[in-house]
Amino acid sequence: MSPIVLVGPGKDLVEAHRLLQQMRPALRFCYPDDSLAQAAEVAICWAPPSGSFARLPQLKLIHSVGAGADPIIREPSRPASAAVCRIVDPGHCQGMLEYVLWGVLHYHRRFDQILANQSQQRWERLTQHGAQQTRVGVMGLGQLGKAAAEQLARLGFATRGWARSAQPLPGVATFTEAQLPDFLDGLDILVCLLPLTERTQGILGAETFAHLTPGAALINCGRGGHLRVDDLLGALASGQLRGALLDVFEQEPLSREHPLWSTPGVTVTPHIASSASLSVIAEQILTNIDRQQAGLPLFNRVDTALGY
């Protein structure tokens, strides 16, 4: 079979390469500047550098090493005829759930304010509320969003979910795309687990924040492109938001000079909310390579028009 081309930077890619080679010693791997790459039918990547695919005329399958394939879909040199696939790891939900629960509990139990008080040796027994009094909204009801919303509802939070189309979920009040204002109105904590598409780009902005309860908190584990950073800074300065837990950024790593590092109320985590396990990544990529070679339908194929 033709060599498999590894496109772009990324620790995940290097590790996936090592494991794939170990699992299938017969496969040949190369990088885009290698002359062998011209013949490659399969590319593996996370965030391809601009123009990457222009030199790869034979591509039939572009496989993401992540759950999202948005950086691949957005790349203008991507050949429209190549299938794009992503990783779907059921274990991914557990990590995301832990991250979202940590964030929701942090704001719900007012640990943000308690930790700020500690830094001033201030003993103040802030009023605590029951979970049913905290309104949490989950944007995006894909595999991860659904699991998070269901679990939050099970824990007693007044939980809402928002998705493009109707998604009944036990214990969760769900809203469709057109009902966005109703979904947002009066939320105490907004969690973003949306895919990044043309419709969701910049959705976390002033207009959205204005619907929330004054002093609400934001948790973004979708993509950096969902957030309008200037609007967030404005909402934090005005007190419309009291905090933001951010795991994803337009440019990663976040540059050392970025204001988000030091804005009061902002917690930055380095895109660690959750990721697929390396063994699942390698297995799913190998399965799809075999299926592509055999002319069989691929697993976890992304609808490039929808963007997920």
Q: Binding of ligand GLV at residue 48 (CB under 6 A)?
A: no
User: Is the distance from CB of 208 to CB of 184 less than 8 angstroms?
Assistant: yes
Nearest distance, CB of residue 66 and ligand GLV, angstroms: 3
Q: 236 or 246, CB closer to ligand GLV?
A: 246
Nearest distance, CB of residue 276 and ligand GLV, angstroms: 6
Nearest distance, CB of residue 68 and ligand GLV, angstroms: 3
Nearest-angstrom CA–CA distance, 254 and 149: 28
For residue 284, count other CB atoms closer than 10 A to its CB.
20
- If residue 57 lies in a helix (H) or strand (E), which one and from where to where? none
Nearest distance, CB of residue 224 and ligand GLV, angstroms: 10
Nearest-angstrom CA–CA distance, 149 and 6: 36
Nearest-angstrom CA–CA distance, 233 and 146: 29
Nearest distance, CB of residue 46 and ligand GLV, angstroms: 8
User: Is the distance from CB of 191 to CB of 161 less than 8 angstroms?
Assistant: no
Indicate the length of the chain as a whole number: 308
Nearest-angstrom CA–CA distance, 94 and 107: 20
Cα 20 to the chain's mean position, in Å? 24
Nearest distance, CB of residue 232 and ligand GLV, angstroms: 20
Q: 87 or 236, CB closer to ligand GLV?
A: 87
Question: Annotated catalytic, 223?
Answer: yes
For 10, 16, 97, 118, the CA distances from 289, given in Å and listed in that order, are: 21, 14, 30, 54
Size of the site for ligand GLV (CB under 6 A): 5
Closest to 139 (Cα-Cα) out of 159, 163, 157: 163
Q: 139 or 235, CB closer to ligand GLV?
A: 139
Q: 37 or 97, CB closer to ligand GLV?
A: 97
Which one of 223, 226, 228, 242 is the catalytic residue?
A: 223
Quick check: bond before 3 cis, omega within 30?
A: no
Q: Using CB atoms, what's the residue nearest to ligand GLV?
A: 66
Binding mask 245-284 for ligand GLV (x = CB under 6 A): ------------------------------xx--------
> What are residue 269's DSSP bridge partners?
none
Of 51-70, binders to ligand GLV (CB under 6 A) are: 66-68
Closest to 57 (Cα-Cα) out of 82, 33, 86: 82
Question: Annotated catalytic, 258?
Answer: no
Chain residues that interact with ligand GLV, rule: CB under 6 A? 66-68, 275-276
Q: Which residue numbers are catalytic?
A: 223, 271
